[in-house]
Amino acid sequence: MIIKEMDRTACLALLHTARIGRLACALEGQPYIVPVSLALDGSYLYSFSLAGKKVEWMRQNAKVCVQIDDLKSQREWRSVVIYGSFEELPDRIGTKVQRERAWSLLSQHAQWWEPGGLKPVADAPTPHLFYRIHMEEITGRQAQPT
């Protein structure tokens, strides 16, 4: 197998087709990673969530990392890592356009609210929110069989 660096164009091509990624955040030295639905638009990844641990943590530490992959086999895959910053899109004046853009992009795909809209056990309904990740750095690698 040969592993190569992906250029920005190849990384963005994978991001355009991706629907699920892994979002990593950290608080007080403790990392946390979860699957999220996402959609790319310009220099932002848009997503949706119910309130919970990842949202609480990102509100306190906006620095995040997102990993997206495309696995064809153990010897043929692509993987992109995005370093960026969390930005909540609250339901109020000033973020209306960005919230509508997030909803528009995400809702183009069936079951777009999963996994962000599901909780294992809900004590009480929790409010949902849209957010975006400003992509500050993108890296990627791909493996091809020899």
Show the domains of the chain with their CATH numbers.
Answer: 2-144 (2.30.110.10)
For the stretch 32-82, pLDDT in tens is: 999 998 999 999 999 988 888 999 999 999 999 999 999 999 999 999 999
Mean per-residue pLDDT of the chain: 86
**Alpha-carbon distances, residue 26 vs 8, 53, 63, 138 (angstroms):** 26, 11, 8, 19
4 to 84, 140, 143: CA distances (angstroms): 23, 9, 6
Section 3-11 average pLDDT: 97
pLDDT above 50 (res 1) = yes
| Secondary structure (3-state) at 13 | helix
Q: State the pLDDT confidence band at 141, using cuts at 50, 70 and 90.
A: very high
Q: Does residue 54 contact residue 32 with C-beta atoms inside 8 Å?
A: yes
Q: 123 by DSSP, 3-state: which?
A: coil
Q: What is the pTM of this model?
A: 0.81
